[in-house]
Structure formats: structure tokens, C-alpha cells
């Protein structure tokens, strides 16, 4: 136990000393850390007081003793949930002397029960405070570890991201191989990833898409239905008419080479080539080239899967952080999720692309993460905030930016986190941006944030209706909020809520 553990109660102890002759000391295991008589470093530590404090801790129950010049001293233990870690001691600094001492002793004994009750209550308050402080320290430690985890995930994901293979690139790959090897048809077929399937043909072939797709499906079905292909990495025939399984799949004679797209035992599909010129044959070098291409493609698919798995993990860790932070403020639980959902609705309405939506989603989820450094007594204060408390609150956008800046995967979300409290007229914070200077992310988050704040219960006021909230927001359009974003937000909300009837 240290002095800081007692600081919140100094006012209480000082008032008690001022209103009565009862003085209070708080001891740890070796020395006093607070006294209402003098500063800790000025306290005279007598052997009797030290021994009395030790007795209280050892017996773990309320104690009463007489020390020095017939001075009645009372004490109760302060615990940590497992064992006593200190003692709360009370006494009078001016013990009565003279003829009336016997009467005073009687009064002291009569008031022991009241003093015991008072000390026990004060000790429990100190214990609760110490417990809360430990929980906060534990929470901060867990959050720090989570942030470290996110940093590791984002670093790995950034490396994998550079291996991502766009579908256009797959089409280019198939076309390049087809042309380089003088084939009539090339395909990449992955049954569980049909949106990534690619079929290309040479101009001279001129087959309809329906015929091509049907032919490739038959080839793929024959490959997957052949027991021999379970163990083989490729299939090759220089004349399909000589193969019982493949001969009836097309009206023309053809040769066919297909290799597995696989990585570490995972079969994604097949990379195949078809030629209707059966005068030529497939060479071993062509097989090796196709195997190499399939291996590279499989590696990229594996990397892409890992990237998206890490991306989902990142989002889940982010959500866990949000839930943990919102647990500090009982009035804003679910706030960030609601703001994020509203922002995605706005994004759909104004036509943001998928990358912009993802950045906006994460920014909205994390816009208040900087409040991790804001004391709970400020976040949950029911009355007006002091100027100093307002300044602490206004630090959270910059704090959030600083916390998340090292994370590459969140780089595109940082503008929304940093600037969601800027005002359209330039009167906001932290940078005083105005109009179009404010990133669109931040302007969208601002309207969703304000609406949720108005329509949910807060420590300092009751919620208002959606119609009332929209009316206030329209008055703030061009001042605090972007008029365009307010108008779009109203369209979105009206689709969900009967605002007119709600008014």
C-alpha cells in the first residue's frame, strides 16, 4: 500500500479531523503512508504505534488499545481480498487528563462500537479503491498486449498483402500461358472459389462462352472423378480420343494438359490447357512450366487466404478493444458498433468503394479508442465538466491516432479517428479543419456519432427521439456538421425510423 492509494480519501479524513478530535492514520506493513495530523515524512513513528499496526494486521480484526499517556487508539485492517496489507488507525490527539479522566475512559469505551463501525466502512472504501486500481492496471496491461498483437498481425498481413493476386492478373496469366504455348484454350478452375474461375480462348477458336464453360466443366468433372488423380499432380493426354474418360467430352479431337493448384496438401483446383492440334505433343518442359505456374498461383491463393484470415482476426481484436474501452463508460456500450453500422449505411448511399468502406468501418469502430487514457470519473460524470476535464476529453482523438499509427493495416482509417471532432465551420479539434479540409471519413463519423449520442442515454442527460436529434443536427449543418452528410444521414434514418410519427 502506498500514498497514492489513499489520495482519494484525504479530503474525507481531513474533514473528519476538522469536525472532531478524531485523527486518522493509514499504515502499510512497515510505516504510515498518511496522517491527518501531518505529512507522512513528518510522522513520528513510535514503537507502540508500529506494534499496534502489526497486531491489527496479524489478528485481521478490529483492535482497541491504550498507548502512551492513557491514549485510546482504535484500528481495523485493510485487506486485498486475501490478507491484510495495512491498517487504518484512529485516535484523539489531546487525550483528557485530570479529575475527569475516568469519565473520559468510560466515554471512550462506550464509543468504541461507533468508531469500529466508522473505521470498517472507511477501510472497505480504501479496499474497493485499491481493487479498482488493480483492475485498471490489469486492463491497461491486457490492452497493451492486444495492441502488440495487432501490430504483429498487421506487419505480417502487410507482407502477405503484396502477394495478393487480382482476378485480372489470373486472366492475364492464363492468356500469357495460352499464347506462349500456342494453345487454343486455357482455364483456371477452383470449385470452391467460382468467382475466381478463368476461361480464355484464342481468337481463332471463336467458341461461344456457353460451349466453353460446358466443356471446361466436363473436363474438371472427369479430372476430379478419376481415382488416379488423387495422388498425381497432373494429367496429360496428347490425344483424348485414345482416353476412355475424355474422348466423348468434345466433338473434335484434342490434347489436354492439367496440373493441380495446391499448397501444403490443400487442393484449390486445376490449371489446364487444351489444343485441337493433335499433330503436336506436350513436351516435358511445358509440363514443368505449367507446374511452376500452378505452384506460384497456389502460393498466392494461400497467402491471400491468410491475409483475409488475419484481417478478420484484426477486426475481432479491434472489436475486443472497443468492448473493453466501452466497459469504462457504462453509458456508451455498443456506441462504436452503432456508429460503424450507420457509417456503412452512409457509405453505401454515397457510393464508396469496398476499400473505402473497410477503412471507414474500422475508423468508426475505433474513433473513441483514445478514451483509454481518460479517467472513468470524467467519462461517467453526471454534471458539467470543468475546463480541465474538457481538455482531457478533447485529447482522445490525438491519443487514438498515436496509439494506432504504428499499425499499417489501420493507416487508411487514421484520418477518421483523428478528425471526427472537427467542425465544418472550423471550430472543432484537434486541428481546426473546416469544409472539405475535413476527411470524408471524419465527416461521416461525426454525423453518426452525434446522432447516437443524442438518441442514447448518457450520464449527463436522457436520450431524445430520432426526430428531435435530426432537427438539432439540421440546425448544426454548416456549423458543426457537413450539410451534405446530414442530408444523406437523414435519408438513411428515415428509411429505418418513422421520424414524422416519432416527432
Output the pLDDT for position 344: 95
Reading the block at residue 26, the C-alpha cell is 493509514
CB 379 within 8 Å of CB 328 = yes
Is the confidence at residue 110, as pLDDT, over 70? no
Q: How far apart are CA 68 and CA 388, in angstroms?
A: 47
Same domain, 340 and 432: yes
Most confident range (mean pLDDT) of 93-102, 131-140, 183-192, 366-375 is 183-192
In a domain, 365, yes or no: yes
Instruction: Please give the share of the chain, as a percent, with pLDDT higher than 90.
Output: 29
pTM of the model: 0.47
| Residues β-bridged to residue 481 | 477
Provide Rg for the chain, Cα atoms.
37
The CATH code of the domain that includes 57 is: 3.30.450.20
Residue among 209, 302, 227, 297 nearest 259 (CA): 297
The CATH code of the domain that includes 293 is: 3.30.450.40
In a domain, 152, yes or no: no
Task: Give the residue numbers spanning the domain of 208.
Answer: 167-305
Per-residue pLDDT band for 332 (boundaries 50, 70, 90) equals low
For 440-471, how does the pLDDT look when each residue is reduced to its tens digit (9 = 90+)? 999 999 999 999 989 988 766 788 999 999 99
Q: How far apart are CA 303 and CA 299, in angstroms?
A: 6
Output the pLDDT for position 395: 92
The CATH code of the domain that includes 455 is: 1.10.3210.10
Output the pLDDT for position 187: 93
Per-residue pLDDT band for 272 (boundaries 50, 70, 90) equals very high
Is the confidence at residue 412, as pLDDT, over 50? yes
Same domain, 497 and 379: yes
Same domain, 31 and 81: yes
Number of domains in the chain: 3
Same domain, 301 and 448: no
Same domain, 498 and 370: yes
- Compute the average pLDDT of residues 430-438: 95
- Compute the average pLDDT of residues 176-192: 87
CB 413 within 8 Å of CB 406 = no
Per-residue pLDDT band for 328 (boundaries 50, 70, 90) equals low
Same domain, 338 and 459: yes
Output the pLDDT for position 99: 41
* Pick from 49-58, 141-150, 489-498: least confident: 141-150
Output the pLDDT for position 142: 63
Is the confidence at residue 287, as pLDDT, over 80? yes
- Phi, then psi, of 441 in degrees rounded to 5: -50, -50
Same domain, 359 and 497: yes
Amino acid at each position: 500500500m502506498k500514498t497514492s492509494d489513499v489520495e482519494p480519501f484525504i479530503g474525507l479524513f481531513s474533514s473528519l479531523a476538522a469536525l472532531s478530535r478524531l485523527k486518522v492514520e493509514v499504515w502499510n506493513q512497515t510505516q504510515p503512508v498518511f496522517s491527518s495530523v501531518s505529512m507522512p515524512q513528518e510522522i513520528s513513528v513510535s514503537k507502540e504505534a508500529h506494534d499496534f499496526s502489526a497486531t491489527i494486521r496479524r489478528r485481521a480484526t478490529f483492535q482497541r488499545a491504550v498507548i502512551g499517556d492513557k491514549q485510546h487508539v482504535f484500528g481495523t485492517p485493510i485487506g486485498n481480498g486475501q490478507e491484510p496489507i495495512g491498517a487504518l488507525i484512529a485516535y484523539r490527539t489531546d487525550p483528557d487528563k485530570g479529575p475527569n479522566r475516568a469519565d473520559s475512559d468510560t466515554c471512550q469505551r462506550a464509543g468504541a462500537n461507533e468508531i469500529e463501525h466508522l473505521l470498517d466502512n472507511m477501510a472497505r472504501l480504501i479496499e474497493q479503491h485499491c481493487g479498482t486500481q488493480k483492475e485498471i492496471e490489469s486492463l491497461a496491461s491486457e490492452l497493451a498486449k492486444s495492441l502488440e498483437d495487432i501490430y504483429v498481425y498487421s506487419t505480417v498481413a502487410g507482407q502477405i498483402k503484396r502477394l495478393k493476386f487480382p482476378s485480372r492478373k489470373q486472366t492475364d496469366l492464363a492468356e500469357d500461358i495460352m499464347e506462349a504455348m500456342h494453345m487454343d484454350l486455357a482455364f483456371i478452375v477452383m470449385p470452391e472459389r467460382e468467382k475466381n474461375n478463368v476461361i480464355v480462348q484464342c481468337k481463332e477458336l471463336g467458341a461461344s462462352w456457353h460451349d466453353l464453360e460446358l466443356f471446361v466443366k466436363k473436363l474438371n468433372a472427369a479430372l476430379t472423378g478419376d481415382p488416379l488423380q488423387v495422388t498425381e499432380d497432373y494429367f496429360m493426354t496428347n490425344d483424348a480420343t485414345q482416353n476412355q474418360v475424355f474422348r466423348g467430352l468434345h466433338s473434335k479431337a484434342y490434347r489436354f494438359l492439367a496440373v493441380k493448384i495446391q499448397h501444403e496438401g490443400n487442393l484449390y483446383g486445376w490449371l489446364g490447357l487444351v489444343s485441337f492440334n493433335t499433330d503436336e505433343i506436350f513436351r516435358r518442359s511445358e509440363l514443368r512450366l505449367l507446374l511452376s505456374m500452378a505452384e506460384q498461383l497456389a502460393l498466392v491463393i494461400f497467402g491471400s487466404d491468410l491475409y483475409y484470415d488475419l484481417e478478420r482476426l484484426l477486426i475481432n481484436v479491434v472489436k475486443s478493444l472497443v468492448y473493453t474501452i466501452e466497459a469504462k463508460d457504462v453509458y456508451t456500450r455498443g456506441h462504436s458498433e452503432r456508429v460503424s453500422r450507420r457509417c456503412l449505411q452512409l457509405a453505401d448511399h454515397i457510393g464508396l468503394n469496398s476499400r473505402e468502406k473497410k477503412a471507414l468501418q474500422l475508423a468508426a469502430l475505433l474513433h473513441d479508442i483514445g478514451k483509454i487514457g481518460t479517467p472513468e470519473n470524467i467519462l461517467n460524470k453526471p454534471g458539467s465538466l470543468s475546463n480541465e476535464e474538457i481538455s482531457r476529453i478533447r485529447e482522445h482523438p490525438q491519443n487514438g491516432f498515436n496509439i494506432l499509427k504504428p499499425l499499417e493495416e489501420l493507416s487508411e482509417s487514421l484520418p477518421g479517428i483523428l478528425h471526427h471532432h472537427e467542425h465544418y465551420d472550423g471550430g472543432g479539434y484537434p486541428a481546426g479543419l473546416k469544409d472539405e479540409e475535413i476527411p470524408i471519413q471524419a465527416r461521416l463519423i461525426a454525423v453518426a456519432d452525434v446522432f447516437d449520442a443524442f438518441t442514447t442515454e448518457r450520464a449527463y442527460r436522457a436520450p431524445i427521439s430520432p426526430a428531435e436529434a435530426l432537427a438539432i443536427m439540421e440546425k448544426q449543418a454548416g456549423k458543426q456538421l457537413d450539410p451534405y452528410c446530414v442530408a444523406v444521414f437523414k435519408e438513411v434514418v428515415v428509411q429505418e425510423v418513422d421520424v414524422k410519427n416519432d416527432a
